[in-house]
C-alpha cells in the first residue's frame, strides 16, 4: 500500500501517459496566460519526457498553444559540456522542444556546463535565485534513474541539497555510455538542481514508463525514506504525482 502522500496515476501505455502530462502543462500555460502571468516549468531530459515534448509541439502546431509566457529551468547538465555538443542537454532540449515552439530564448535556463571550476558555486547560487525571482517552479517534471536519482541527485544527496556540481554514479555513467560512444567519454560530473530545489516546486510530476523502471518506482513510493534512494524524499512532500504506464507501475502494491 502507498502510505506516502504521493498520488499515483497509471496509464495503459506511454503515449497516453505523455499526452496526460502534456495536457497538464498546456492547461497551466493557458491559465497563466489568461491571468497575464508566466508559467514556470522545471524540465527534464532523457528518454522519459520525449513523448511529452512531442505532444506539446503538436499542441503548439495544431491547437495554437503558445509558449510566449513560458519560462523554463532545466534540472541538469553534464560538466564539463559545450552547448553545441551532441550530448549536451542544451542540444537535447533544442531538438526535442525549444526549436519547435515559440518560447522566447531569454526565457530558457539550462545549467552552464562550460564554466570554470572557480565560478561554479557562484553560478549555482545565482541559478537558485533566478528560480526564486521567476516566482518558483509551477510544475517540475522528473524522470527517475536506476540509482533512484532525480535530476542528478545521486545516492548520498541530502533532502536540503541545492543546485551544485556533483559526481555522477557509475550506474548513471554506464546508462549514458551508448549516447557518448563509450563509458570513457561520459563526463564524471554534472551541475544539477538539488533535492531541496525540486522540493520547492508547487507541483512535482515524476514520470516513468517501461518494465525497467518498475523496481525503482516501487522503492521510491514504498521504500524507507533514505539518502541512498534520493527519490524517496518525495514521499515527504505535498503535491507529488507519479505518472506511470502499466509496466512501470507493475510492482507497486
Ligand atoms: C535528466 C535527469 C535524469 C533522468 C533520469 C532518467 O534531466 O535529470 O534524472 O530523468 O536519469 O533518464 P531516462 O528518462 O533516460 O530513463
Ligand 1 atom with least separation from CA of 48: 14
Q: Using CA positions, which residue lies closest to atom 12 of ligand 1?
A: 46
Tens digit of each residue's pLDDT (9 = 90 or more) over 26-68: 999 999 999 999 999 999 999 999 999 999 999 999 999 999 9
Tens digit of each residue's pLDDT (9 = 90 or more) over 101-160: 999 999 999 999 999 999 999 999 999 999 999 999 999 999 999 999 999 999 999 999
- For the chain, how big is the Rg over CA atoms in Å? 17
* 241-249 average pLDDT score: 98
Looking from the CA of 13 toward its CB, the CA atoms found within 13 Å total 2
Q: Using CA positions, which residue lies closest to atom 10 of ligand 1?
A: 143
Cell numbers representing residue 188 in the block? 564524471
Q: Is 145 in the pocket of ligand 1 (CB under 6 A)?
A: yes
Of 17, 55, 77, 154, the catalytic one is 154
Q: Is 143 in the pocket of ligand 1 (CB under 6 A)?
A: yes
Distance from Cα 209 to the centre of ligand 1, integer Å:
12
Residue 3: pLDDT band with limits 50, 70, 90: low
Q: Is 194 in the pocket of ligand 1 (CB under 6 A)?
A: no
Query: Is 154 known to be catalytic?
Result: yes
Bridge partners, 241 (sequence order): 7, 205
Backbone angles phi, psi at 243, to 5 degrees: -110, 115
Q: Which residue has the higher pLDDT, 2 or 211?
A: 211
Residue 47 contacts residue 144 (beta carbons within 8 Å): no
Q: CA distances (Å), 182 to each of 176, 185, 186, 223, in order? A: 8, 6, 7, 33
Tens digit of each residue's pLDDT (9 = 90 or more) over 80-91: 999 999 999 999
Predicted model pTM = 0.98
Residue 44 contacts residue 243 (beta carbons within 8 Å): no
Q: CA distances (Å), 21 to each of 24, 55, 101, 152, 201, in order? A: 5, 9, 17, 22, 16
Tens digit of each residue's pLDDT (9 = 90 or more) over 187-218: 999 999 999 999 999 999 999 999 999 999 99
Does the pLDDT value for residue 2 go beyond 80? no
Backbone angles phi, psi at 241, to 5 degrees: -120, 135
Could you give the 3-state DSSP secondary structure of residue 206?
strand
**Structural domains present in the chain:** 2-245 (3.40.50.1360)
Could you give the 3-state DSSP secondary structure of residue 223?
coil
Neighbouring CB atoms inside 10 A of 68's CB total 12
Does the pLDDT value for residue 229 go beyond 90? yes
Neighbouring CB atoms inside 10 A of 105's CB total 6
Distance from Cα 36 to the centre of ligand 1, integer Å:
32
Does the pLDDT value for residue 1 go beyond 50? no
Does the pLDDT value for residue 4 go beyond 90? no
* 11-36 average pLDDT score: 98
Q: Is 148 in the pocket of ligand 1 (CB under 6 A)?
A: no
Q: Using CA positions, which residue lies closest to atom 2 of ligand 1?
A: 151
Q: Is 18 in the pocket of ligand 1 (CB under 6 A)?
A: no
Amino acid at each position: 500500500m502507498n502510505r506516502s502522500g504521493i498520488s499515483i496515476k497509471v496509464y495503459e501505455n506511454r503515449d497516453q501517459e505523455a499526452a496526460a502530462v502534456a495536457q497538464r502543462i498546456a492547461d497551466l500555460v493557458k491559465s497563466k496566460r489568461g491571468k497575464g502571468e508566466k508559467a514556470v516549468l522545471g524540465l527534464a531530459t532523457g528518454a522519459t519526457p520525449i513523448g511529452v515534448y512531442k505532444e506539446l509541439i503538436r499542441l503548439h502546431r495544431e491547437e495554437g498553444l503558445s509558449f510566449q509566457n513560458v519560462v523554463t529551468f532545466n534540472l541538469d547538465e553534464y560538466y564539463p559540456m559545450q552547448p553545441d555538443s551532441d550530448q549536451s542537454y542544451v542540444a537535447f532540449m533544442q531538438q526535442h522542444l525549444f526549436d519547435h515552439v515559440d518560447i522566447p530564448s531569454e526565457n530558457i535556463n539550462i545549467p552552464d556546463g562550460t564554466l570554470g571550476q572557480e565560478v561554479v558555486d557562484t553560478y549555482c547560487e545565482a541559478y537558485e535565485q533566478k528560480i526564486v525571482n521567476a516566482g518558483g517552479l509551477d510544475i517540475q517534471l522528473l524522470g527517475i534513474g536506476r540509482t533512484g536519482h532525480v535530476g542528478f541527485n545521486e545516492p548520498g544527496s541530502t533532502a536540503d541539497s541545492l543546485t551544485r556540481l556533483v559526481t555522477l554514479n557509475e550506474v548513471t555513467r554506464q546508462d549514458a555510455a551508448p549516447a557518448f560512444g563509450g563509458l570513457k567519454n561520459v563526463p564524471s560530473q554534472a551541475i544539477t538542481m538539488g533535492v531541496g530545489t525540486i522540493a520547492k516546486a508547487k507541483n512535482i510530476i515524476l514520470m516513468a514508463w517501461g518494465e525497467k523502471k518498475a523496481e525503482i518506482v516501487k522503492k521510491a513510493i514504498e521504500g524507507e525514506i533514505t539518502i541512498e534512494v534520493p527519490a524517496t524524499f518525495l514521499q515527504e512532500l505535498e503535491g507529488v504525482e507519479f505518472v506511470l504506464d502499466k509496466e512501470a507501475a507493475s510492482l507497486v502494491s
